[in-house]
Structure 1
Amino acid sequence: MPSSGSYAMVLDSTFSTERRACRFSRILIDGGSSINILYRDTMEKLGIKQGQLQPSRTVFHGIVPGLSCSPIGKVKIDVMFGDKNHFHREPIWFEVVDLDSPYHALLGRPALAKFMEVPHYAYLKMKMPGPKGIITIAGDYQKSLTCAAASSQLDESLFIAEEKRLLDRVVAMASKQSDMPTDPKSAETQGSFQAAKETKKIALDQADPKRFAVVGSHLDNR
């Protein structure tokens, strides 16, 4: 394997619900993640409706570098590794996200601990205990390369979309500011304060006629 240790571990696994079971070929094993993630497309393949999800308060970062994400809910799914003759099955809680991804799901530390899995990133293999002994699941570095390339393109497109959204916001704010009057006199006439229509001058200094104040004509001279 060229450049061993530089590839993500992408394995096959079976997910099952009360309605159906599906075999998925692109399950990302990420020991650096503190949560397990299920993508909306995978949720729909399993026949799970959004109304079946439980509320989630989780907000996390890192799926798309520089961007945060809030899940649309969480759900518990049975996950199985191995084959029909020798397998290990565990119920796993997933945070469901409404994002596109080349992966079907991500298994983080909670799932690794549940299965008592030991991943070996140099050989892209993972081992776990089973009822008949050790179960070994092997990955494929060519599949890892394909998923990594697709993930990079997706991250780039999401960054472009986010930058465009921020740029549109700046342009809208600049346009709004340009509509504001720049002439102080014009701004003064458009302000909430309007001078009284009937006014009179009150002398402030009898020796200097230029020193006076303008007040409403209904006020007295006191």
Structure 2
Amino acid sequence: MDSPFWGIIPGKASLPLGQITLPVQFDTAKHFCVDYVNFLIADFNMVYHAILGRQALAKFMAVLHYTYLVLKMPREQGVLSLRTNLDVGYNCEKKSFMLAKATDISICMQYFITTSQLISLEDLETPTMEAARASTKYKEVKEVALVPSDQSKTARIRAGLEPK
């Protein structure tokens, strides 16, 4: 029980809280199958009540067809087929993704609120604008006229550079 669940809620992982063994019955009283299955308990807010993993499917020798949402397993009376309504399955997936998105947003919001509370009030203050500094990199500069006839249009260049 040390390994986390992945892929149940997109982008999220969760460690199991514990496990429980329950009897599972498939189909009706006339044509059914009962066996005990170990379920891992997880703290997921989602539309599924239970998820049968590879171990449960192997235990029942079940084959799952995802496209048609049919679970088939061999029984003494023949093949037991469990079907679902495609519309219900689609709506279930939509709700699951909406829950995952809401969970992701609420977790991110909680992270940002917690992080912002750790920042001191001094760091949250808006800095005042400083005056532009004069370049101190080159101490020797000379002024060059950009337009020879107008001395008001000049530029400062390093003293070692040629005017052109």
TM-score (normalizing by structure 1): 0.51
The aligned amino acid for 2:65 is H
Residue by residue over 1:3-59, the C-alpha shift from the partner in whole angstroms, topping out at 9 and shown as x without a partner, is xxxxxxxxxxxxxxxxxxxxxxxxxxxxxxxxxxxxxxxxxxxxxxxxxxxxx4342
> Relative to structure 1, is the Cα distance of residues 137 and 72 closer, same or farther in structure 2, using a 3 angstrom cutoff?
same
> What's the secondary structure of 1:123's corresponding residue?
coil
Q: Contact conserved, 1:80 with 1:88, CA < 8 A, in 2? A: yes
CA RMSD, Structure 1 to Structure 2 (Å): 1.9
> What's the secondary structure of 2:92's corresponding residue?
helix
Which stretch of structure 1 is more off in the superposition, 69-78 or 122-131? 122-131
2:54 to 109, 127, 132: 109
The equivalent residue for 1:214 is: none
2:103 to 134, 155, 158: 158
Matched, 1:127 2:72: yes
After superposition, where does 1:122-201 map in structure 2 within 5 Å?
Answer: 122-175=67-120, 178=123
- Displacement after TM superposition at 1:125 (Å): 1.6
Residue by residue over 1:142-179, the C-alpha shift from the partner in whole angstroms, topping out at 9 and shown as x without a partner, is 11111011111100110011101210122022237749
Whichever of the two has the greater Rg, that structure is 2
> What's the secondary structure of 1:156's corresponding residue?
helix
User: Unmatched 5+ residue regions in structure 1?
Assistant: 1-55, 180-222
> Relative to structure 1, is the Cα distance of residues 97 and 177 closer, same or farther in structure 2, using a 3 angstrom cutoff?
farther
> What's the secondary structure of 2:8's corresponding residue?
coil
Q: Contact conserved, 1:86 with 1:131, CA < 8 A, in 2? A: no
Q: Give me the whole-angstrom Cα distance separating, in 2, the residues matched to 1:165 and 1:138.
A: 40
The equivalent residue for 1:72 is: 17
> Relative to structure 1, is the Cα distance of residues 116 and 176 closer, same or farther in structure 2, using a 3 angstrom cutoff?
farther
> What's the secondary structure of 2:21's corresponding residue?
strand
- Displacement after TM superposition at 1:93 (Å): 0.7
Q: Give me the whole-angstrom Cα distance separating, in 2, the residues matched to 1:117 and 1:177.
A: 63
Q: Give me the whole-angstrom Cα distance separating, in 2, the residues matched to 1:148 and 1:77.
A: 25
> Relative to structure 1, is the Cα distance of residues 110 and 166 closer, same or farther in structure 2, using a 3 angstrom cutoff?
same
TM-score (normalizing by structure 2): 0.68
Larger RCO (alpha carbons 8 Å, 6+ apart): 1
The aligned amino acid for 2:22 is I
After superposition, where does 1:2-17 map in structure 2 within 5 Å?
Answer: none
> Identity over aligned residues, as a percent?
31
- Displacement after TM superposition at 1:120 (Å): 2.0
The equivalent residue for 2:160 is: none
